[in-house]
Structure 1
Amino acid sequence: MLMEELIDNGSLGNIRKSRRAPKSCIQCYKRKVKCNKNTPCDVCIRKGTAHVCAREPVMVGGILMNESSLPISDGSTERIPESVYEKEIECLKRKVTDLEELVTRLSRDKEGVGTNTKGSENRHTDPVKRADRDLYSVTVNMLTRGLVRGSYDDEALEFKRDEWIYEHDKIIRFTDNSAKPIKFPDNVDVVTKPFSEIWNYWLRLVQYLTKEQSYVLISFSLARLSVLAGVIDTDAFWEEHDRFWNTSGPKHLLFEYDRSTDQYIWMSLWYALLCAGIYHGDESLQQTLGLDDDMMDKFPRIFLGSSLECLYRGRFMTFPKVTSVQTIIVMHLCGHAFGGSHLMNCLLSTAINLARFHNMDTIEKSGDDLEIGKKIWWNLVSLDWSDTHGRHAIIPKGSFTTGLPNAYRNGKMTVDCHYLLFRATAAQIKRNYYFEDKVERTTLNLEMLKQADLELKLLAMRTEIDFRDKLPQNSESELVQYLIRCTISCEILEVNRMMSTFMTNEEWSLKCSPECLRYAMDIVRLYTDEEVPFRFKKMSIVPENVINASVFIMVDSLMRPLKDKQFRNCVELIQRVMGILGSYKQAMRPAIRGIFVLGRLLELMRRRQGDNAGFSFNDVGLDKHLESIRSLPLPFGNHVIPLVPEPTVEDGPDGYANAILDTLDDQDWKAFLNSVDDLVMTYDIGLARDMTS
């Protein structure tokens, strides 16, 4: 349509003037949802409104833009190609097909889990089928991840805009008034875009971190957290930090790429230290920074996301740098709390490859200039060999020659080096004797477990002597002692629990069960001790260890009858654990998962204790317990847990349910715990926290 025609028919008066032409369609702009900028767009196709999808025509500098979207003179719209309707019909057919499949599947599974008949046993024999039929996790995962097409309505997400605006106004109120506002690029809509996407909203928040706040956080991180890793040259980092703040230019991430690779990689380490500092900070640090509880929860995730963004902008896998490895190690100090184990596993694998590129696995000589490289490598080895959650070891045994770092500095043993040596030794013991590796699987036997138990106890004795005679006594020394005690107790608990596979029930109950219970109670009581500083309990390994110990205590109480007083003491102890797990200011994934698991098991304990005073776990099969678990109320509806077959003679000399290891680690119990793990890992962390509050 020409300009003369617009003037003649009077349509020009209805066209607004603007400095730029909208790229989003009118419908998406009104609903404030993301548009893929095609005509018709994906959103309109999904909603069945592709025939009216159009961009708003505007006048830009006297030129008519988006002219093809103008209405023609007879009041109708321009003819939409038939291909548009074909896409829309195809999308609707997919929706109907997916919904029919979901309804059929739910109906079939509901019929298949009613009673424990012979037919149902056959249906649940295959572990793959059993995992696939776990409606509790599969259904929630499908809904959460949006695998059912069309299950989300874009209009339901509009509330987030108001939330972002509210949070943005709030952060402006408590930050320094002298902080300069953000200058967005010209092609960014400063009215809608920063509040329509979470990442852009985070970019706005991070801009308000001042130079003074950065100094406070970095000082805290390097002073307190270096004892946990010790992989950073403090003097060199401070020089770069001063240079960064004293030069002109923006000090934070912007929408465009405006820095070199080296600058982005250094900023990734800087953001990682900020993340670790604010996450592990106490109330005095919070008051110094002037942040409220809400920002203390948001900022660690914002800094972690900024650190990851800087790594990718610096192309850390294309240009291998030592700083990238240091960044990933620092991330492991807090990343599991809200980044998730899968993210940390992927980053750890990349860090190991980067370290090998720099020959950190072949440092055989000694020298002060080589100590950082040794510490970096043995930090990676310790992380790789001590974590078996959803992964296998990346570093094979005997594949490197780097020696252990020196435990002494200027003739004195230091706490950071001692803690690293402890972690390395504990990881070597686990790797040699009881590491559950699916790739380099060795034949596990009772003698290996007994040797591991002995070496762990000797390691605990040597560590206690070192702290008593050779190491200084200060707050950081107390933190390391707490972590060592928690780690040793958890590993000995795991080793003794695994021994049940190679012992009769009577032998294990006599020799190992009291040992397991003693170390489990030690972990839990140490965690609930009010004399222990709360910041000690925020370390990433602590919630996981406490949850493992609590689960053992509760399963142990199900295996044997408890007197009323013992039962009340057990319930009170677990409730105290759950209270501490729910008291973290930052939302922690392990804590959320732990609250959910412990809450359901606690309800099962109460029901069993109330129904049968003399109840013993050995009196019934595992499927009976899953029946009880299935009957418990669920926060997301009554999705069921599949039944399991009755134990057979081939399952073991003393029966399938007579060993504590089978109780915790058999396929069916893992299915229950994994379903809870999948639920929390796939739900938004804020939603999951509301679920458990």
Structure 2
Amino acid sequence: MKIKSRPSLACIPCTIRKVKCDKTIPCKNCIKRKTTHECRRRNLVPSPELPESNTDTESNLFNNRQIVHYLYSLKLLTYGRAQIKGLVPVDDLLKYNRWDQYMNQFPTLINKLTPALSRKICECACNYTTFIHQGVVNELFLKDHDNFWEVHVSKNPACLNHTSNNTLKTKSSKDYYYWMSLLYANLSTGMYFGVHEIQSDLTYTEAELSEFSAIFFRASLDCLFRAGALEHADVRCIQVFCVLSMGLHALGSTYLHKSLLRISVEAAKNLGLDQLQPDSAPDYQSEVLKRLFYSLMIIDSLSNYPKRYIADFSTPLPSIISSDVLLEKVIPGPLTFPEACKNDEIAGIMYERMMVELAQLKHESYEKPTATELVSCLERMKVLRSKLDTYFGSEGFSPGDKSIAQYAKYLLFSSITRERLEIGIRLQSLVGTQDWAKQYRPQCLEVATQLLFHSTSTGIPAFYNRYWIVAQHLIYACLFVLLDMLLFKSEDDKYKLESVKRTFPTIKKLQSYFTVKIGFAIIEKLCYLVSKVRLDHLENETLEAISLREFLKEMEIANPYSSKLSRNRIVPDITESQYLRFGNETSHPNSTDGDFAPTEGDPLTDAENGFNVTSAMLDDKGWYEFLDFFFGGESAATMSDI
């Protein structure tokens, strides 16, 4: 590459847009467009102090793209928000979104449900997930659960099925549907996370068991909408969303996740949850609302970046108290750590408070995305992670330890480490590849390796690997390690590749997630190509090297200035029915009968078939079609929407 004596100080986005740049990083134009994480200059002068780069592939593969752009592309690719026509239609991918097709199975599952089994499933949901979502107070929810079975279901079994006529609806349909939505949500979550613990007590067939969580998830949504959650603000809507959030990416979709989050945030604002006043002493009403609000804030901040739905708020953090204090059974006393976290409720509150701090740091890093601010956030996250032993103890993970303190520490380590990795990678765009490679690349490799081993080591609570956040952390770390292998030569490349492959069994367990299914297919293919090009030292013109170049070129979809992709058709063609649609396409009455021919077979009738469909997406034709649809047009490819 020819090196200019006076390299341009204008940033790349301004150069491409052909607008005047003030030549600062980030520049005013990028700040105004909210794309400061893209603002960077071209790196034309190589430094002899850099780690040895893979000069035989770097220029051809990366085309001056930085690692952060591929990671943004990974997020876009794995978020299946739209139909992929001709490949994997969303209606088939998210098959449980068709409630009318699965409600016939719902009565069968309901009829086999007993008070004891229902209680056990809900206990699993409460014991393993409430500290994450804070949607219910365990003791009070289980008390209402038992009362519902004893007082109502025992006299009128029909009230357990919300689709049947029963007397509870006539008393207050809104209250009935909100209660059933919350009950179904806990049954769905409890079965999803605790199926291996309660399987011996189940009377369901294997087929029924595989569909239980998804069907009750959909039933919960059905009740939520019937209760009027779209029409008025009600705290119960927020409670249901918090419980459902544990399985939204597996049993629903990322689009549904964001839609319900938006509804819940608006409800919280209308109810004043974002402007609660400090209390002189813990009060049940305010404490429950504070826990709910910050649960929303965590979800919002970690998933909606660079912009979140929640703006300014003044609600104080939840008090560090046990459920006995919350329910006014005892008077609060002084706390010492880590002994205090032996109480599960206190451990859960500490988890929420530390996640709030992490979420706020991530939000600040996008509000002021300068190198100085990112380095500051990086250091504060490092301090935050160092507090894990202080609050939760220094003991290692043990399968026999069922305490919330262990689970909280495990998930916090994963979340904090992942956010540290992201900020470290983003610094490449701000300080330049030369300084980044010397100062921040070693830290990025260290935390990426920690993520890979953290979720695959022995003695951890394995069922938390079913939590969608953990799988995304693994995929994120895998992609970084593989891209780093292409950028820089290393004597331990073989070890890095083995570390990536070690995560495959864990990731495969979550193939029901669309985000994980696509993410794993990307990682698996990239892993194979990188191993051939890097470890087998194949030449640039071999089939694998060419395929790798094309693969990475296609993954440059985070580029908002690409003009080669066309806008996909959003409304039907003028020759087709615009509003009366059945199936993928519906023609006008004068069309031939062949136009209405049904598609034989369901491409997602089982997990194996679904995986084959996903694999097909990653061949050359599949990728181009996928990218052309997903990122065609101006509005679909703006980094500010990521």
Counterpart residue number, 1:628: 547
2:182/2:239 contact within 8 Å kept: yes
Q: Pick the structure with greater CA Rg.
A: 1
Larger mean Cα displacement after TM superposition, 566-575 or 209-218: 566-575
Structure 2 residue 530 is matched with structure 1 residue 605? yes
Deviations along 1:363-412, one digit per CA (max 9) or x if unpaired, are 113232210011001111111111137x831111xx22211111233334
Return the match for 2:352 from 382, 406, 420.
420
User: By how many angstroms is 1:338 displaced?
Assistant: 2.6
Q: Quick one: which amino acid aligns to residue 384 of structure 2?
A: L
When residues 321 and 352 of structure 1 are mapped into structure 2, their CA distance, relative to the original with a 3 A threshold, is: same
* Counterpart Cα distance in 2 of 1:138 and 1:231: 26
Closer, same or farther: CA 573–290 of 1 in aligned 2, 3 Å:
farther
Q: Decide whether the 8 Å contact of 2:132 with 2:348 is kept in 1.
A: yes
Give the letter aligned to residue 377 of structure 1: F
Q: Please tell me the residue identity of whatever aligns with 2:176.
A: Q
Q: Deviations over 1:115-152 (max 9, x none)?
A: xxxxxxxxxxxxxxx9xxx9xx99981225879xxxx9
Q: CA deviation at 1:356?
A: 2.0
Asked whether 1:313 is paired with 2:245, we answer no
- Give the letter aligned to residue 572 of structure 1: E
How far apart are residue 355 of structure 1 and its match? 1.7
Q: Quick check: 2:177–2:227 contact (8 Å CA) kept in 1?
A: yes
Q: 2:423 aligns with which of 495, 506, 517?
A: 495
Describe the superposition over 1:498-545 as per-residue Cα deviations: whole angstroms up to 9, x where unpaired.
011122322111111110000000000111212223112122210011
- Report whether the alignment pairs 1:688 with 2:610: yes
Do residues 142 (structure 1) and 61 (structure 2) align? no
Q: Is 2:292 aligned against 1:376?
A: yes
Counterpart for residue 480 of structure 1:
408
Check conservation: 1:378, 1:424, Cα contact below 8 A. yes
The answer to whether the Cα contact below 8 Å between 1:282 and 1:535 also exists between their aligned partners in 2 is no
Where in structure 2 are the equivalents of 1:45-56 lying within 5 Å?
none
How far apart are 1:627 and its partner, in Å?
A: 5.0
| C-alpha RMSD of matched pairs (Å) | 3.9
- Structure 1: runs of 5+ lacking an equivalent: 1-129, 158-163, 165-193, 436-441, 633-640, 645-662, 676-681
How do 1:445-456 residues align onto structure 2 when only pairs under 5 Å count? 445-456=370-381
SS at match of 1:280: helix
Paired residues of 2:162 and 2:177 also in contact (CA < 8 A): no
Q: For 2:207 and 2:489, how far apart are their aligned partners in 1?
A: 44
Q: For 1:22-81, what per-residue CA distance to the aligned partner results, in whole angstroms no more than 9, with x for missing partners?
A: xxxxxxxxxxxxxxxxxxxxxxxxxxxxxxxxxxxxxxxxxxxxxxxxxxxxxxxxxxxx
For 1:340-489, what aligned pairs fall within 5 Å after superposition?
340-366=253-279, 367-369=282-284, 370-388=286-304, 392-396=307-311, 399-409=312-322, 410-411=332-333, 412=335, 413=340, 414-432=346-364, 434-435=365-366, 442-468=367-393, 475-489=403-417
The normalised TM-score by structure 2 is 0.64
1:122-521 pair list within 5 angstroms: 141-143=84-86, 197-246=101-150, 247=152, 248-249=155-156, 250-253=158-161, 255=163, 258=166, 259=169, 260-291=173-204, 294-366=207-279, 367-369=282-284, 370-388=286-304, 392-396=307-311, 399-409=312-322, 410-411=332-333, 412=335, 413=340, 414-432=346-364, 434-435=365-366, 442-468=367-393, 475-521=403-449
Q: Is the 8 A contact 1:460 1:488 kept in 2?
A: yes
Rounded Cα–Cα distance in structure 1 between residues aligned with 2:419 and 2:544: 27
Shift of 1:337: 2.1
Equivalent position of 1:571 in the other structure: 497
Shift of 1:312: 1.1
SS at match of 1:528: coil
Amino acid corresponding to residue 628 of structure 1 in structure 2? S
Q: Equivalent pairs: percent with the same residue? A: 21
Distance in 2, Cα, partners of 1:451 & 1:665: 26
TM-score by length of 1: 0.60
Bigger RCO (CA 8 Å, 6+ sep): 2
Is this contact kept in 2: 1:600–1:629, CA < 8 A? no
In structure 2, stretches of 5+ residues that fail to align are: 1-72, 323-331, 341-345, 569-601, 616-642
SS at match of 2:136: coil
How has the CA–CA distance of structure 1 residues 145 and 504 changed in structure 2, closer, same or farther, with 3 Å as cutoff?
closer
Indicate the residue corresponding to 2:621 in structure 1: none
Give the partner amino acid of 1:371: E
Matched letter for residue 371 of structure 2: L
CA offset at residue 234 of structure 1? 3.1
Q: How many residues align?
A: 462
TM-fit CA distance, 1:263: 0.6
